[in-house]
Amino acid sequence: MLDVMFHIAFLVLQALLILVPVLICVAYYTLAERKVAAYIQGRVGANRVGWRGLLQPFADALKFINKEYIKPAEANSGLFYLAPIISVTTAIAGWAVIPVAPGWVAADIHAGILYIFAVTSLGAYGIIIAGWASNSKYAMFGAMRAMAQIISYEIAMGFALVGVIMLSGSMNFSDIVNAQAGGIWHWYLWPLLPLFVVYVICGLAETNRLPFDLAEGEAEIVAGYMVEYGSIGFMLFFLSEYANMLLISAIGSLLFLGGWQSPFDHIVFLGYLTQWVPLVIWFILKTFFMAFLIIWVRWTFPRYRYDQLMMMGWKTLIPTTLVWLPLVGLYIKVAGL
Amino acid sequence: MKFFQQKPMLTQLLTIAVFVGSSVLFLLLTLTAWYTIDLPTQPLYPDTIRYHALISGLTWGLSISFILKHLLLNEPPHLYSKYYFALLMIVGLYFMTQICLLCLIFSTDLRAYLQPIGHILSDFNLYFSILTLVTASVIILGQRYWPAKKTKQNTAKRQSKHKDHMIRLIKRFLIWDFLTGLGQTAKTMFQKKKTIQFPEEKIPVSPRFRGLLALRRYPNGEERCIACKLCEAVCPALAITIEAKVRSDGSRRTTRFDIDMFKCINCGFCEESCPVDSIVVTSEHHYVVRERGENILTKDKLLAIGDMCEPKLAQDRANDQPYR
Ligand code: SF4
Ligand code: SF4
């Protein structure tokens, strides 16, 4: 009995160890987004709450919590409350298989990539349920767009990840990272550069980020699937969106940027100089770089039109991956990896 | 030059010969370089070197023959010129890395220190080679399969169309537009910020700014207004309400002077119409109305505002004096 209790306590602790840092990161990611947006537009950004605005995310969260939770009269109440919960759960569940340093992973399962895929696809249910349950035309349109977009881009993204799986011969994140050991030129970024670009673009589309945020398109459908949500519901959607973006960045850094591997390994001088840096730091830096890239892209490009979006997904990204995968195969064959 | 220009066939053959020759030469060079000198540690991709060398050789040959052809025929790179130069630049970079690599391999002393850099270079080398090959083949194929049709009327138009098509294709392949866009925002990110931190900093206001209204007094404390009601008459928004009576000393004074801030459009006509410079628009514009009814500025309030703003008013007028 005590054993079981202990085990459960351990599991809960593990979950908290993932949950708390992820939530804090998400909170500060929202601030980072505002700051980067401001900087790109020549502004200063949030700087009133706390030192240089560092407490702003908490002020925002408090504000959301204080607001009244309004449910439209015609909405389907059960599903309406369920949707944000599904969104945020799936967004955070993905973090279970992300290794941040050798051995620092909650669930070191063999098919980590498959798991991530399954979980992030489940997240789409949150969106479509929200769109359906709100009983509003804008929400419905937003959900439909989001679904179409996620389905089309998941294919290209899957292909992009297939390249990584081919090169490393494994679906386990730790194995994939270990296969990239030995400095910056061993990262899969180089042999798989086109796939990396495809991955980043698909990541933007999967998380409904600009330039692919048709699901939210403020100008046409107000806020898309979350138009009827306020207060905590909105906050949860917001949170899941940012958690998903961070997840995409983390996966990108694991699969293409060598995860926790130092970029300076085996470089005579720099490698020696940077030996003391804990491995987690590299992972965090790479993830943050990817996350920054996502923000950067958002504040640079205007939104795609819907047909352009579909055309890009089906006629550019998927063919690119389809061409590059045989090349990768050839490369593996020739290089005898 | 003339000689080659008159014999295009010969030039073509020569170019091809140079291409094959330099390709093979460079291939052999790279291969011998890698194989004759025994690297102390394992090279990066032991079995890909041949493959590596092949691509390098091909690219090198291609670039040399490209340049040679254009030199011999003395023709400027006309059609896809921008991308042609990009290609040449890539070739130049590639050439540099190749040279570095060879130097690296042949110098035994530096080898231990420079080897990691050599690895990076060799990887980039491979990459540049592939890029050059692809770009070159796209350009060659483009010239071959999408030539500008020579009809009499719209040759130029068609040419530009095909050119645009090719350029678009290459740009799309290199996601060129996206990268320039990102570069643009990256630049702005480090520019000086234009934010004005409002409560602490304020935007400079013109001395002629028409803000909150006020009633002025004479230096001896007597109110200026003589209740002539000109302002009430001129006000286009009917914001002013005045009632007047004779005061005990016999002068005519207002008993009521209300301005509705909600109606007032800050046109400044009242100031212009006033014969004794009593009602004025001040440059004060940071004010709020917190409760209903506060929007009516009574006589007392207006006089108080006037007292408050007098120094500022004097200053504004002094500043504006040269232009009146
Ligand atoms: S500023 Fe114009 S609108 Fe306002 S009170 Fe004077 S005359 Fe009327
Ligand atoms: S125009 Fe001047 S003097 Fe006449 S009533 Fe108005 S404020 Fe008084």
Distances (CA, A) of B277 to B280, B310, B313: 7, 12, 12
> Strands of B296-297's sheet, edge to edge?
B240-246, B252-260, B296-297
CB atoms within 10 A of CB B62: 21
CA distance to partner chain B, nearest, from residue A137 (Å): 34
Close Cβ partners of B255 (under 8 Å, ≥ 6 residues apart): B243, B244, B245
CB A265 within 8 A of CB A182: yes
Which residues of chain A lie closer than 8 angstroms to B119, CB-CB? 183, 185
B/e letters for B281-313, b = 16+ CB within 10 Å, e = fewer, are bbbbeeeeeeeeeeebbebebbbebbeebbeeb
Which residues of chain B lie closer than 8 angstroms to A331, CB-CB? 48
Would you give the DSSP letter of residue B46? G
Q: Output the residue whose Cα is nearest ligand 1's atom 8.
A: B235
CB pair distance less than 8 Å for A193 and B47? no
Q: Is the CB of B228 under 6 A from ligand 2?
A: yes
Which residues of chain A lie closer than 8 angstroms to B48, CB-CB? 331, 334-335
CA distance to partner chain B, nearest, from residue A74 (Å): 37
B41 contact A CB<8A: no
Q: Which of A336, A159, A182 lies closest to A259, judged by CA? A: A182
CA distance to partner chain B, nearest, from residue A185 (Å): 6
CB A271 within 8 A of CB A262: yes
Around ligand 1, the residues with Cβ closer than 6 Å are B 213, 234-237, 239-240, 259, 264-270, 281
Which residues of chain A lie closer than 8 angstroms to B51, CB-CB? 334-335
Q: Is the CB of B274 under 6 A from ligand 2?
A: yes
How far does CA B244 lie from the centroid of its chain?
A: 61
Q: Is the CB of B239 under 6 A from ligand 2?
A: no
CB B252 within 8 A of CB B226: yes
Which residue of chain B comes nearest to A265, CA vs CA?
B116
Ligand closest to Cα of B259 equals 1
In this prediction, residue A195 carries a pLDDT of: 87
Q: Coil, helix or strand for B146?
A: coil
For residue B152, what is the enclosing H or E element?
A: none
| Distance from the alpha carbon of residue B232 to the mean position of ligand 2, in angstroms | 8
Close Cβ partners of B200 (under 8 Å, ≥ 6 residues apart): none
Report how far residue B117's alpha carbon sits from residue A332's, in angstroms, rounded to the nearest whole number: 24
In this prediction, residue B29 carries a pLDDT of: 65
Which residue of chain A comes nearest to B169, CA vs CA?
A316
Q: Is the CB of B135 under 6 A from ligand 2?
A: no
CA distance to partner chain A, nearest, from residue B206 (Å): 24
CA distance to partner chain B, nearest, from residue A91 (Å): 28
How many CB pairs below 8 Å do chains A and B form together?
A: 61
Instruction: Evaluate whether ipTM surpasses 0.85.
Output: no
Q: What is the pLDDT along chain B (324 residues), one digit of tens a residue?
A: 566 666 667 777 777 777 777 777 766 666 665 554 444 444 444 444 555 566 666 666 666 666 666 666 655 444 444 555 566 556 656 555 555 555 555 444 444 555 555 556 566 656 666 666 666 666 666 655 555 445 455 555 555 555 566 566 667 667 778 888 888 888 888 888 888 888 888 888 888 888 889 999 988 888 888 888 899 999 999 999 999 888 888 888 888 999 999 999 999 899 999 999 899 998 888 888 888 888 888 888 899 898 888 888 888 888 888 887
Stretches where chain A sits below pLDDT 50 are none
* Pick among B113, B179, B195 to test the A interface (most A CBs inside 10 A): B195
Interaxial angle between packed helices B8-36 and B81-106, expressed in degrees from 0 to 180 and rounded to the nearest 10? 30
In this prediction, residue A11 carries a pLDDT of: 85
In this prediction, residue B233 carries a pLDDT of: 92
CB A203 within 8 A of CB A248: yes
- What atom of ligand 2 comes closest to residue B277's alpha carbon? 2
- Which one of B213, B229, B235 would you pick to mutate in the ligand 2 pocket, going by the greatest count of ligand atoms within 8 A of its CB? B229
Tokens of A237: 């959607």
Residue written as token pair 């770089």: A289
Q: CB-CB: which of A184, A185, A336 is closest to B47? A: A336
B181 contact A CB<8A: yes
In this prediction, residue B167 carries a pLDDT of: 65
pTM: 0.69
